[in-house]
Amino acid sequence: MLASEDAGVATLTLDRPDRLNALDASLLSRLTERVAELEARPVESRPRVVIITGQGEKAFVAGADISSMAGMGASDARRFSELGQRLGRALDEASFAVIAAVNGFALGGGCELALCADLILASERARFGQPEINLGLVPGFGGTLRLARRTGPGWANRLILTGEPIDAAKALEIGLCDAIFPARELLAKTQELARKIAVKPPLAIAAARRCLLRARTTDPTTATDFESGEFASLFASADGQEGMRAFLEKRAAIFRGS
């Protein structure tokens, strides 16, 4: 896995182009560890946005590595599934925003990885799908839950039960991605969006992500009660006070993450 950072934006590039960046246990573990390392940093040195993309021109992640899966028994498969779901939870619970730059195939585990992101930006040649049923399997990294939340149950049912892929235009139409760009522009456009987010106050980014997670995973009363608590806590932060003062004084705010 390749990693780079600039101005509050970290880019994690999955680098198995010979395997179309297919996810095996090692790559899942390394990506989870890297997310944990970034999250463990002090707030002043932690990235505010993480971009996840794939190496090469063909694939974001073409899926889980079938060659490593073929010899698995049920217990091995359970552990492999839990590795993918552990990565999803790490991304859900991170205090930085996550953007997937889908530069090609995002199939199976690749689609599930993209679904862990707050925003999914796609190349014009991206293709999305959950083809596990064609192998006699089902998604194992959280796809049955995350896909339905993003697209609604109708399209989740269709994609998972037929195993058929869709192109970027259809993905945009059904809400599976948020924007499409020419392949040569995808990373630059993703970085442009990431920089817009990275100048926002880190405590508010983290609080917004926590609120959005509760909105997806709990009942409305619990979610709105949680939102009230996060709203109130930011009033006790230096960044919250600085943001309001700067607005009233008609100047740019200086956010320090405190």
Angle value at C-alpha 44, between 217 and 229, nearest 5 degrees = 35
- Of the listed 33, 44, 112, 242, which one is catalytic? 112
Is residue 242 annotated as part of the catalytic site, yes or no?
no
- CB-based contact 170:121 (threshold 8 Å): no
- CB-based contact 257:201 (threshold 8 Å): yes
- CB-based contact 77:62 (threshold 8 Å): no
Q: What DSSP state is assigned to residue 140?
A: -
- CB-based contact 233:201 (threshold 8 Å): no
Is residue 132 annotated as part of the catalytic site, yes or no?
yes
Q: What DSSP state is assigned to residue 199?
A: T
- Of the listed 82, 124, 132, 249, which one is catalytic? 132
Give the residue from 230, 234, 188, 239 showing the smallest Cα distance to 211.
230
β-partners of residue 101 are 53, 121
β-partners of residue 98 are 50
Lay out the sheet containing 166-167: strands in order across: 59-61, 105-107, 127-129, 166-167
Catalytic residues: 112, 132
